[in-house]
């Protein structure tokens, strides 16, 4: 029945909706109790689907998690690039673009905190079957920042001496760590408040001089 509905008109969108439910169920459960302790039965139950539906969409729990990483990081990367493109269309500088990307990153993390926690935790592991996939998706996020930095160097807005790959990684790390600290220890702060603090760093306005 699942296969015939997927082939029917609108079946593709229904399947994507089912996969989205599975992503959300998996990320919530794994964030709560860890990957090893989470079973396919639990994922299916949380998603409100039959266990067979999980295996119809994903060959295994590991494949589901690997696709979850691709899906989540894909959404994050798209939001970062869109923020940079909107800034460019509005005539903003590359610093403005980075600032907009920081806000977009914070917004994503506020919307998907469980995914962000999992992503950061998995970056520190080295024994997972999906390690190579994790490196690929991490590269996507960092590359979005690198592109803006390189454009800024090319137009003279940024110094040619900056280490583009390391600076991009540092900016991504800054947003991830600051956002997780915000979500875990300072939840009373608003997104605007957190963004303003990081914006001062990126705009070079942390010193007392004017």
Q: One digit per residue, pLDDT tens: the chain, 210 residues?
A: 333 333 334 557 888 899 999 999 999 898 888 888 999 999 999 999 999 999 999 999 989 999 999 999 999 999 999 999 999 999 999 999 999 999 999 999 999 888 888 888 888 777 777 788 888 999 999 999 999 999 999 999 999 999 999 999 999 999 999 998 999 899 999 999 999 999 998 887 644 444
Whole-Å CA distances, 4 to 18, 28, 74, 145, 182: 15, 29, 28, 42, 46
d(C-alpha 172, C-alpha 102), whole Å: 8
């Amino acid at each position: 029945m699942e296969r015939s509905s997927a082939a029917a008109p609108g079946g593709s969108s229904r399947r994507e909706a089912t996969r989205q439910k599975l992503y959300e169920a998996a990320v919530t459960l794994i964030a709560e109790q860890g990957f090893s302790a989470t079973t396919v039965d639990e994922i299916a139950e949380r998603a409100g689907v039959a266990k067979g539906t999980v295996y119809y969409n994903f060959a295994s729990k590991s494949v589901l998690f690997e696709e979850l990483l691709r899906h989540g990081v894909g959404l994050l990367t798209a939001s970062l690039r869109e923020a940079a493109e909107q800034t460019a269309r509005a005539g903003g500088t590359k610093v403005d673009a980075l600032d907009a990307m920081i806000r977009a990153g914070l917004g994503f993390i506020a919307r998907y905190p469980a995914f962000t926690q999992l992503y950061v935790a998995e970056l520190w592991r080295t024994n997972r079957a999906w390690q190579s996939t994790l490196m690929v998706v991490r590269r996507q996020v960092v590359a979005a920042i690198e592109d803006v930095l390189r454009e800024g160097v090319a137009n003279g807005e940024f110094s040619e001496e900056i280490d583009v790959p390391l600076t991009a990684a540092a900016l991504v790390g800054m947003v991830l760590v600051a956002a997780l600290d915000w979500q875990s220890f300072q939840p009373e702060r608003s997104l605007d408040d957190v963004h303003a603090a990081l914006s001062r760093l990126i705009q070079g306005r942390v010193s007392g001089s004017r």
